[in-house]
Structure 1
């Protein structure tokens, strides 16, 4: 269904009521109706500057709208993930994770502190563990630990001010997931996450009937999470029931129809304008009706025209036969190997994606091949004609008094385009949608997306033949991303892409360098989708592979081995449940601190084993 969304606020758990908001004397939207029903999973999309983040903040009641109000169900708890989280008045991770007004969280915090304290009395320890049992908080404690470990948060006493921007974003997301709100409002949640964590987050957000509203440029994430896409465009919200590809198709159709209608109105308006100029002052009734129609037509003629688009058509420097050779190149620091010796000869047309968890060595590898750090073992041999273009994740570096035009002129005053045309820095900026008034403005006045676009332009204008893009999709709007993809598909040089966006990796690379996290680099011939399928196939049971080859109409039955496993599991699960019961009684019958800790650890291990065996029992039970 396509059209302006007008939901009935009476059935929405959260909605706007005739909300209007202005920013810098410009109306972002007016009389906007936007509602969420329980269980909705909605993606909000639109180009930079349309007001997506502002709308999220209004719904989360962080920003007060200029006009109108937000209506929500009584007692509704909203969890909001900001692009740049604020940690004012909080010193350590511990202070942030465990909310003062959450009894379970405060008990878990106290329990963790008691474990670390060697001088704690057994009476105090027993008192806290009994309270945790009474509140059924042991599972909650396990969930908290699972979430924090997923986001690589282990040192709870670390000061928040010492964290990087990416670490702060992960910390804020972890806290939101721990709190389990009624509505998850997420602004670019996948930024600074590795692919494995994104896939885990997808499963978590789609488990149960969670209500989710998110802004993201990660296409696979949108498709896997959301059942509906809403586009904010020129102050209106358009709804698309379908996936991202469906949205792109219908959006293009809608824009083409709007442009066509506006063009017709403009042509007719010009003819009517000539008639208006010929008319005398005294006019009859029919003439007055035609005059009123003229003014209606004039309003329609102000409709959309064909939009300006970023032009990516820069020249690529000539590339020789020798590009880049790594001969046992590695990097280590005292006591730790960051990158094990690695050998590879880059070839013309290489399109390589780097995949691995945060901290697995990807950035070290990029710094090594670009000469920002020197190899501690082996050799890095760069060809004479190799010209790097390195788009860094940390963003554009600039002085507070630098203007947009200065950023470009610092590289070159004139730039050669793909067709051989030589243009000025100002003309190139215009092609990248920076009009003259923006060119002479200060860089620090640009939005996050505009800074990223300027950074991309500065990298490409140097005419690189070896392009390295580190998380290019962060903060770029959808239109610019689509144009970047088209440019990269036809890019003739070597491309290295680091991205959590699996869609980009699949579309633009045909080879992966996998970083498992142990310092090694594993070469895989294929894109990320191929790699994922292969990994899933490796962990499947042989019996399942055989069954999948049978005709569709043949119902799967348990093999003799699986039937025996099923019967054994029933007995094992019953025994484990009895053991947990007896251990729990044993826990309340002792006051020795060391003994209490030992029994608690045993119970946790048994519960983990029970969960694994129960999951396997349920899997087999489907075929009984």
Structure 2
């Protein structure tokens, strides 16, 4: 009989300040679970994960971890400062039965030796070290809070493959849509302090969420109409009869109380960039630009012309020189050779990836007003700081909150608020998607689509690059950079390879065809057999059916009283769940094998 859920959180309550952050939240993690935990910045996702890890005590509710189950966590901001070397930090998490050779192998795969001093690590290197520490013990449950932040595309793709092969349960918080779509099989939505679960991966989440919110809106509309009818009766019916029907008056008050008690969905972020005086159509012209550091060419002979309205993404490994190229193009850094010409009337606003320009001791209001009164200048016009804060989903009472106490996502929103207030016709964004929630990302993408100026963006978020960019500048190695039309997926198609592999040789001459007399007889083309084609067509429906059966069985087994009430039924349903999960995994692997075979044969 398979083991029951490894981790159960029920009716979790937690208050931050005067507002309830979690109000009846629940989380259940079964063996082999692949769960995406989603919700707005500040909704309590990281807090719920810390409670699940046992690092934080809730004010109410229960936490149960199966005896003997191992759990490891990757925090949003890893702190390895207690150790002299990275290897010490990784080794500290290993148990007696864990393999230290695996830990060494993980560090090597992530580009570290283990001898690095944690205090001297960059943000990406600290994240890689923390990943190695979390993955090395191969725990039963792995909790990941923004695992793709500050790491490059090769590391993200390696991590996806490693987690796909991971046998334990995964609970993931991430803003990276593609990462969640590839790895999740269920989704937990944390909204207004409560959780709702979808027994499908993240790819189905947004449509499901919109259906729930639409249904909620209909219920609120019906409640409003009912209140209007009762108020009409109260005004006209009571006076006509000269006698109050106290039951109906009480019902009306109950309806009003129900509407007051309803927690409304949070508002949407209002992103709008203040535009400066329009310049000419040419924004940046770079001719044969070269830059070297320490004898190594970071940029070699790069040329480009960037026009008004272009959205240019810069992509490459960490250390390839993306930030150096960005500084060369914006005139912040002089090239060793070549030239960079900037357009007329250029007004630039920038966002740095490390949020380094934020003073942790300053309050939120002081950061936006630069310490001058209570007005923010947006597009040359004054706005009260509280109103501008609310556009970015900050509550009025947060005005005096020190920046150091904000979550990573809230600091990201604050940086956006400050950058977008400055009049500009050129936006320079260095890793703008780090720590942002998915709704804010959607609105940032819409704002960039409506922005009349030009955008330069460094990002490792493949979905964001696809949605925003008109061209992508890719590092080809040894200081060479190449520009490709379209987004990240278009770059892959043109280049013939991703960031992890060298590009296809450009226009290599085709070998001369052999003479007909010497040409060997071609072997017959391999095609999918009848059974393979039939399996490819029928497996998706079978996988969907298995998924539905698994969801039903999990709902049965989530009843905490089932075992005491019906031990045999509990055992039978547990065995059925294990059988169907094994069949689903087998079907998914077979469908993936056949689909890859089909693409190979048809390609």
The TM tier, using the shorter chain, reads 0.7 to 0.9
1:342 partner SS: strand
TM-score normalised per structure 2: 0.76
2:143 to 185, 208, 223: 185
Deviations 1:380-410 (A, max 9, x none): 2212222222111011523455333333334
8 Å contact from structure 2 (residues 39, 437) kept in 1:
yes
Instruction: Tell me the equivalent position of 1:173.
Output: 131
Distance 1:182 1:438 in 2: 39
Deviations 1:467-504 (A, max 9, x none): 22111111112221111111112223222222121100
CA RMSD between the two structures: 3.5
TM-score normalised per structure 1: 0.73
Distance 2:524 2:46 in 1: 46
User: CA 1:334–1:89 in 2, change beyond 3 Å: closer, same or farther?
Assistant: closer
2:223 partner SS: helix
User: CA 1:180–1:432 in 2, change beyond 3 Å: closer, same or farther?
Assistant: same
**Is 1:392–2:352 an aligned residue pair?**
yes
1:331 to 275, 288, 291: 291
CA displacement at 1:536 relative to structure 2: 5.1
2:282 partner SS: coil
1:402 partner SS: coil
1:456 to 400, 406, 416: 416
1:94 to 54, 64, 87: 87
Distance 1:378 1:102 in 2: 56
Instruction: Tell me the equivalent position of 2:496.
Output: 535
Distance 2:42 2:484 in 1: 39
2:447 to 479, 487, 498: 487
Instruction: Tell me the equivalent position of 1:309.
Output: 268
Instruction: Tell me the equivalent position of 1:149.
Output: 108
Distance 2:95 2:491 in 1: 43
CA displacement at 1:261 relative to structure 2: 1.6
Instruction: Tell me the equivalent position of 1:53.
Output: 46
1:214 to 172, 175, 181: 172
8 Å contact from structure 1 (residues 411, 458) kept in 2:
no
Deviations 1:431-455 (A, max 9, x none): 3334544335443343332221121
Distance 1:547 1:353 in 2: 44
CA displacement at 1:414 relative to structure 2: 6.2
Distance 2:293 2:310 in 1: 30
1:40 to 33, 46, 49: 33
Deviations 1:265-285 (A, max 9, x none): 2343355357668979xx99x
User: CA 1:547–1:554 in 2, change beyond 3 Å: closer, same or farther?
Assistant: farther
CA displacement at 1:507 relative to structure 2: 1.0
8 Å contact from structure 2 (residues 86, 118) kept in 1:
yes
2:474 partner SS: strand
Structure with max Cα Rg:
1
Runs of 4+ in structure 1 over 6 Å off: 276-280, 537-540, 546-551
Instruction: Tell me the equivalent position of 2:465.
Output: 505
Instruction: Tell me the equivalent position of 1:563.
Output: none
8 Å contact from structure 2 (residues 94, 136) kept in 1:
no
User: CA 1:73–1:102 in 2, change beyond 3 Å: closer, same or farther?
Assistant: closer
Instruction: Tell me the equivalent position of 1:523.
Output: 483
Distance 2:94 2:204 in 1: 44
Between 167-176 and 29-38, the greater mean CA deviation after superposition: 29-38
CA displacement at 1:222 relative to structure 2: 0.5
2:428 partner SS: strand
8 Å contact from structure 1 (residues 513, 521) kept in 2:
yes
User: CA 1:25–1:408 in 2, change beyond 3 Å: closer, same or farther?
Assistant: closer
Distance 1:287 1:85 in 2: 63
1:301 partner SS: helix
Deviations 1:30-54 (A, max 9, x none): 3433211111101011112221111
User: CA 1:291–1:414 in 2, change beyond 3 Å: closer, same or farther?
Assistant: closer
8 Å contact from structure 1 (residues 259, 305) kept in 2:
no
Q: Which runs of 5+ in 1 are unaligned?
A: 1-8, 106-136, 557-618
User: CA 1:96–1:405 in 2, change beyond 3 Å: closer, same or farther?
Assistant: closer
CA displacement at 1:243 relative to structure 2: 4.2
Instruction: Tell me the equivalent position of 2:226.
Output: 268
Distance 2:360 2:181 in 1: 39
Distance 2:362 2:82 in 1: 32
Distance 1:548 1:394 in 2: 57
Instruction: Tell me the equivalent position of 2:540.
Output: none
Instruction: Tell me the equivalent position of 2:535.
Output: none
1:356-371 → structure 2 map (5 Å cutoff):
356-371=316-331
1:464 partner SS: coil
User: CA 1:548–1:398 in 2, change beyond 3 Å: closer, same or farther?
Assistant: farther
Distance 2:524 2:376 in 1: 61
Deviations 1:537-593 (A, max 9, x none): 9889x9xxx99987655799xxxxxxxxxxxxxxxxxxxxxxxxxxxxxxxxxxxxx
Distance 2:95 2:211 in 1: 50
8 Å contact from structure 1 (residues 324, 346) kept in 2:
yes
Distance 2:59 2:266 in 1: 29
User: CA 1:457–1:38 in 2, change beyond 3 Å: closer, same or farther?
Assistant: same
Distance 1:144 1:435 in 2: 44
8 Å contact from structure 1 (residues 408, 425) kept in 2:
no
How many corresponding residue pairs? 507
